[in-house]
Amino acid sequence: MTRGAGAVDGAPSAAEAVARGERGALARAMNLLESTRPEDRQTARALVDALAARPRPGGQVVGVTGPPGVGKSTLVGRLLGDWRARGWTVGVVAVDPSSRRSGGALLGDRARMAAPGRERDPGLFIRSMAARDRLGGLAPATFEAVLALRAGCDRVLVETVGVGQSETDVTTVADTTLVIVQPASGDTLQFLKAGLMEIPDVLAVNKADLGAVARRTRSDLRGALASLGREDVEIVLTSAADGQGVEALAEALERHRQAQADRLPAAREGRLREQVARRFRELYGTLAADRLGGEAGLLALLAALPVETAPGALLDALVARL
Amino acid sequence: MSERAASQAAAQGRRDRPWVMRTYSGHSSAAASNALYRENLARGQTGLSVAFDLPTQTGYDGDDPLARGEVGKVGVPIGHLGDMEALFQGIPLAEMNTSMTINATAPWLLALYVTVAERQGAARAALRGTTQNDLVKEFLSRGTYMLPPAPSLRLQSDVVAFTVRELPHWNPVNICSYHLQEAGATPVLEVSYALANALTLLDAVKGRSDVPEAAFPEVVGRISFFVNAGIRFVEELVKLRVMGRLWERLTLERYGVQDPKLRRFRYGVQVNSLGLTEQQPENNVYRIALEMLGVVLSKRARARAVQLPAWNEALGLPRPWDQQWSLRLQQILANETDLLEYGDLFDGSREIERLEDALEAQVLAELDWIERQGGVMEAVGTGAMKQRLVEANAARLRRIEAGEQVVVGVNRWRESAPSPLTASDDGGILTVDPAAEREQVARLEAWRAQRGEGEVEAALTQLKDAARAGTNVMEASLRCAAAGVTTGEWGRTLREVFGEFRAPTGVGGQGGEVRADEGDGLAKARRAVDEVSGALGRRLKLLVGKPGLDGHSNGAEQVAVRARDAGMEVVYEGIRLTPEQIASAAEDEGVHAVGLSILSGSHLELVPRVVQLLAERDLGHVPVIVGGIIPEADRQALLGAGVARVFTPANFDLNAIMADIAGLVAERHGRAA
C-alpha cells in the first residue's frame, strides 16, 4: 500500500467517506489536497470536484480573523463547543504564516481550540495549514479544503492570523466573516485604520470582562460601521475566559446564515469563480490571464460556463481558451 | 591559647547564623518520603522541602486518566488528609520549617498541612514555612497551573489573606524567578519579571476587603522570593544585590511601607539545574559549589534558605546519597569556612557598583515594557512575556551549539575516562518502583470507602459556594481536608466553577528565527528537509507534544522553534496532553513524524501508549522520537517498544537532530511507498 497522500482509495469512495464526515477520510483528503505531486493533484482534483457539488444542506463556512493577542483561539474553542453542543459536526482549518527564509512554519495553538475532553470527539476535526508562499492569509489548499469540509461537516471554520492586510483574504472563502477584536487597544485602532471595517458580517469584542471599556469600544465600532452604511453588522461582547457571550455569538452567526440563505448558492458560485481565476493566474501567470481579458474577463468567461460547482472543470475550461 | 586561635574563637562567637539548609525531596509514597525526611533531618538538614508529584500539583487524583504514569514520580503523592498525616508521621510540625513547592493547589495543601499540625497538637501560630503559591511563573515556565489567570491570582491572594490572619510565621508566597532562569531568562528578564509578578500579587491583595489597610505593610513583609543562581556567579551576586535594592525601593514608593524590616528582600534559592550536564556529570559538583557562592558570599544579599540540586539530575532522579553529598557542601561552606564571620565583602566595590547600576537600568526599562504590554496578567494571557523567554533560551542554546559559550565536557574537552560514579548497578540514579502508582490508587480507594460521603458532599458544596461568591476558599478547604475530600475532588470543584485554561506556548510566528550560513548545521538540516519534502509532495510536518502532566516545556519549545528554522511545518501542541490527544492530532494534521518530550520520568508508561494508538490509526509508519531525561535502560526499552529515536540532554546539537528526523522520514517513506 502506498503510504503517501495517494493512500485515498479512488476518488468516488474517498468522496463518500469524506461526505460522511469520517475523521480518517477527512485527514487523508487534506493530505492529498496539500500535495504538489502531479499524480496526487489528479486525484485531488477529482475528489474536490465531486465534493464541491454536494455541500451539506444548512451548512455554513465561517471565516475568523482579527489581530493577534485578542484571545482568538480560546474564543474559537468556546464557539466550537457551542456548535458541538447543538449537535453539529465541525471542521476547522487554521492557517499560520510560513517563514520566507526556511519555508518552515509554527502552526497554531490547536490544543487551545480543542478544549479538554474533546480530544476523542469524532465530530470535531482540526487541521493546521501553513500559508506557504502565499502572501495573503490563506494557504494554497485552503479553498479546496473548505470545499471538502463543507461536504463532510455541518460547520466549517477557517481561522487566519491577523498580520497586516491579509485578514481580508478570509472573506474569499467564507459565507460569514467573523472579526474578533479586543476593547480599546491599539490593535482596535489599527484595525479601524486598516480599513478592515469593510469585512465583518459579525464582530466580536472579546475580553468583555473589561466592562465599561468593552462597551465603549462597541459603541465606537458601531459608529464606524454606521459611517460605512453597515448597520446590519452585529456586534457581540464576548469573554473567552469565562464563556460569556459565546451563545449570543453563535446565534448572531446563525442569524447571518439565515438572512443570507436565499443568496447563498449565488454567493458561493461567485467566490468559486474568484478562486478559480486566482488559481489560474497562479498557475499560468499574468500574461495568460491578460490574454483572457484580465480579472474581469476571466470572471465573465467563468460565469458563462454551464459548470457551476467543480473548480477543476472550471479551470480546465479556462485553459482550453488559451 | 595562641593569638590566632583566640581571634578565631572570638570571630566564631559572632558568626552569623547560617541559612536554613534543605533538600528538595519526596517520591513514591507518603510513607517512603516520611522515612527520607527523617533520615535527612538526622543528617543535619535544618528544614524540610517537600516535592509533590504532578497529579497533586495540578489537582488530580492518582486514578485520573491524566495522572497515568505520573504518580509518585517527581514528588510525593498526596491524595487526602491520610497521606498528609503519613508524610509528617513522627515529625513535630510545631518545630519544623517546611517549604512546600505547591502552587495551583496551594490552598488545598496548606489546608491539609494546618489540619495535620492541629491534630498533632500544634498551634497555628507556631507553624513556620512557605507555600510557593506563585502562579505567574507556572504560566510562563513551569506549567503546573490549574485555572485561568484571573481566578489563579485570586486563589493565590486567598492564601495570603488567610495566613496574614491565621499563620503569623508563614510565608504565603514565594515569588519565583528560579523557573524563569530555568526557562532561559537572562538576569534582566529574571529580575524584572519576578518583581513585576510580586507587585501584581500585592496589588491584588491590596484590593481585598478582608485585608485591613493597616495590615498591608505586614503583607508586604511576608512576600519572599525563590531565586536561581547560575554559573556566572559574579553576575548572580550582582543580580541579588540589585533585586534587594529595587525591592526596598519599590515597596516604599508604591506602597509607602515605612518599616525597613518589612521591605527587606528575603529569598531562598535552589541553584541552577539547567546548566547541569549529562556528559561527565561529576563536573556538576563544581558547578553547584560555584553557583552557591553567588547566593552566600555577599552578606547584604545572602539567601535565607538554600537547597542544592544533586550532581546527577541530568541523568535521572537523585538517590539519598546524592542529596546528602549536596547537603554536605552547604555544611562545609557554613561551618568550616570563615564566610559567616564578616560583614558584607562587596560594599564599596566600584566594579560591583558599576554592574549593579547597569543591571538596574535595564531592569527598570524591562518593567516599563511589561507595563506597556498591559501588565503581567495581560502579558501572560497574550504570551508576550513567554515569547521573550523562549527567544532568550533559543539564543542561549545557539551560543552553546556554536561553541561561543563554553560548557566543559559538552562542547569543549569532551574526552573522559569512564566514570566510576555511574558504573554502579543502579546506573547512578534512583528508580521509582512502578508499583507506587498502583499502591497509591489502592490507598485512595480504601480512603474513599471509609469516609462519610455526606460530610464530603457538604464540604465540597461549601467550597463551590465560596469560589462562586468570591469569599476566601481557605475556610472551605479546611473543612474539605477534615471531611476526607481528595485532591482530585478539590481540583475538579474549582475547575467546574472557573473553567480550564491552556497557557499560550510562546511558540509562534517568526520570533527568534535563525539564519543559516552555507555549510553550517542548519543549512544541512534545511537541505535534508527540503529534499524529503519534495519527495513527499508537501512540506515535512512534525508534531511536537508533551504527554502527561509535566509542564517543563522549555525543551519542547526549542525543538519546535528549531524544526521551523530547519524548514519543517510544526504543530506544537503544548503541555499536558493525553496519548489519545497526541494520536488524534497526528492523524488530523497528517504529520510525518511525532516528537515527544518528557522530563517527569513517566516515559515508560506514556510513550509506548502513543506508539500503540498511532498503530491503531494506521499510522504505524510515522516515526516517534522521544526527548527528555531518559536513563540508558529506559532508552533500550523505548526503542524496543517501537520508538525511532531517543534523545537526552547529551544531544544538544539541535541541527543534527533535525537532519536526523528528515532522514528518518525519508527512510520510512521510501520503505513503505
Average pLDDT value for residue range A71-94: 92
Question: Over 60: is that where the pLDDT of A276 sits?
Answer: yes
Residue B8's pLDDT band, with cuts at 50, 70 and 90, is: low
| pLDDT at position A117 | 57
Residue written as grid cell 475538579: B492
Mutate to test the interface with B, among A9, A102, A182 (most CBs of B within 10 A): A102
Q: Is B178 a catalytic residue?
A: yes
Q: Does A132 touch chain B (CB under 8 A)?
A: yes
Lowest mean pLDDT among B119-133, B294-308, B313-327: B313-327
Lowest mean pLDDT among A169-183, B239-253, B276-290: A169-183
Burial B301-323 (b: 16+ CB within 10 A, else e): bbbbbbbbbbbbbbbbbbbbebb
| pLDDT at position B671 | 47
Going by C-beta distance under 8 Å and a sequence separation of 6 or more, which residues neighbour residue B214? Answer: none
CB A144 within 8 A of CB A44: yes
For residue range B621-641, what is the model confidence (pLDDT) as tens digits?
Answer: 999 999 998 988 899 999 999
Residue A2's pLDDT band, with cuts at 50, 70 and 90, is: very low
- CB atoms A104 and B500 under 8 Å: no
Catalytic residue among B27, B80, B546, B592: B546
Residues of B in contact with A98 (CB under 8 A): 569
Q: Is B662 left (phi over 0), alpha (psi -120 to 50) or beta?
A: alpha
| pLDDT at position A3 | 39
Tell me the three state secondary structure of residue B485: coil
Average pLDDT value for residue range B219-238: 95
Q: Is B64 a catalytic residue?
A: no
Residue B135 and residue B144: Cα distance in Å, rounded?
8
Going by C-beta distance under 8 Å and a sequence separation of 6 or more, which residues neighbour residue B160? Answer: B133, B172, B173, B201, B205, B211, B219, B222
| pLDDT at position A5 | 42
Average pLDDT value for residue range B590-612: 93
Give B150 or B118, the one with higher predicted confidence: B118
Average pLDDT value for residue range B579-588: 92
Going by C-beta distance under 8 Å and a sequence separation of 6 or more, which residues neighbour residue B197? Answer: B134, B136, B137, B175, B376
Distance from CA of B546 to the nearest CA of A (A): 11
Lowest mean pLDDT among A77-91, A245-259, B114-128, B506-520: B506-520
Mutate to test the interface with A, among B60, B468, B502 (most CBs of A within 10 A): B502
Most confident of B42-51, B273-282, B480-489: B480-489
B510 CB burial (10 A radius; 0-12, 13-18, 19+): middle
Catalytic residue among B37, B60, B178, B193: B178
Question: Over 70: is that where the pLDDT of B14 sits?
Answer: yes
B593, β-bridge pairs = B542
Which amino acid, residue B457? E
Distance from CA of A64 to the nearest CA of B (A): 18
Of A68, A108, A111, the CB nearest to B502: A111
| pLDDT at position A7 | 42
Average pLDDT value for residue range A275-294: 91
Question: Over 70: is that where the pLDDT of B108 sits?
Answer: yes
| pLDDT at position B7 | 64
| pLDDT at position A203 | 93
Lowest mean pLDDT among A243-252, B216-225, B394-403, B497-506: B497-506
For residue range B186-209, what is the model confidence (pLDDT) as tens digits?
Answer: 999 999 999 999 999 999 999 888
Tell me the three state secondary structure of residue B516: coil
Residue B91's pLDDT band, with cuts at 50, 70 and 90, is: very high
Residues of B in contact with A34 (CB under 8 A): 537-538, 590
Q: Is B24 a catalytic residue?
A: yes
- CB atoms A128 and B508 under 8 Å: no
Average pLDDT value for residue range A163-168: 58
| pLDDT at position A146 | 96
| pLDDT at position B448 | 97
Residue B434's pLDDT band, with cuts at 50, 70 and 90, is: confident
CB pairs below 8 Å between A and B: how many? 150
| pLDDT at position B6 | 58
Residue of A nearest to B380 (CA): A69
Average pLDDT value for chain B: 91
Question: Over 60: is that where the pLDDT of B427 sits?
Answer: yes
Residue of A nearest to B567 (CA): A104
Q: Does A117 touch chain B (CB under 8 A)?
A: no
Tell me the three state secondary structure of residue B43: coil
Share of chain A above pLDDT 70, in %: 85
Give A174 or B499, the one with higher predicted confidence: A174
Residue B664 and residue B644: Cα distance in Å, rounded?
8
Residue A212's pLDDT band, with cuts at 50, 70 and 90, is: confident
CB B524 within 8 A of CB B576: no
Q: Is B65 left (phi over 0), alpha (psi -120 to 50) or beta?
A: alpha
Distance from CA of A156 to the nearest CA of B (A): 15
Average pLDDT value for chain A: 85
Residue B390 and residue B544: Cα distance in Å, rounded?
15
Output the furthest CA–CA distance in chain A (Å, rounded).
61
Catalytic residue among B550, B565, B634, B660: B550
How many CA atoms within 13 Å lie on the side-chain side of B244?
22
Rounded to a whole number of angstroms, the distance between the first and last alpha carbons of chain A is: 39
- CB atoms B672 and A30 under 8 Å: no
Residue B439's pLDDT band, with cuts at 50, 70 and 90, is: very high
Residues of A in contact with B614 (CB under 8 A): none
| pLDDT at position A99 | 82
Q: Determine which helix (DSSP H) or strand (DSSP E) holds A303, and give its type and residue range.
A: helix A294-304
Residue A243 and residue A245: Cα distance in Å, rounded?
6
Residues of B in contact with A206 (CB under 8 A): none
Average pLDDT value for residue range A194-218: 82
- CB atoms A105 and B570 under 8 Å: yes
For residue range A107-146, what is the model confidence (pLDDT) as tens digits?
Answer: 876 777 766 556 668 899 999 999 876 655 677 789 999 9
